[in-house]
Amino acid sequence: MGIASLVLGIISLVIGVFSSGLLGWLGAILAVVGIVLGALGRKDPEKKGMATAGMICSIVGLVLCLILYLACAACIGGLAAAS
């Protein structure tokens, strides 16, 4: 579970940096799944470090996806109000 958490965290980071809109929500969903898998993976002492890294990447990816999604929504709202 630690490896899956790390992979999902990295994917959510990449999606959060390079996309917005619908893919931003996909990155947020993958990050939430990565957080859950990381929490479950921390119970295994052999893969605790990888699960912790996956949880951290997933949390950062979730925050990044949500902030960039809100920024895009604010820009669209600002453009709609200006016209």
User: pLDDT digit of tens for each residue in the chain (83 aa)?
Assistant: 889 999 999 999 998 888 766 677 888 899 999 999 999 999 988 889 999 999 999 999 999 988 888 888 888 899 888 87
26-53 per-residue burial string, b: 16 or more CB within 10 A, e: under 16:
ebbebbbbbbebbbebbeeeebeebbbb
| pTM of the model as a whole | 0.86
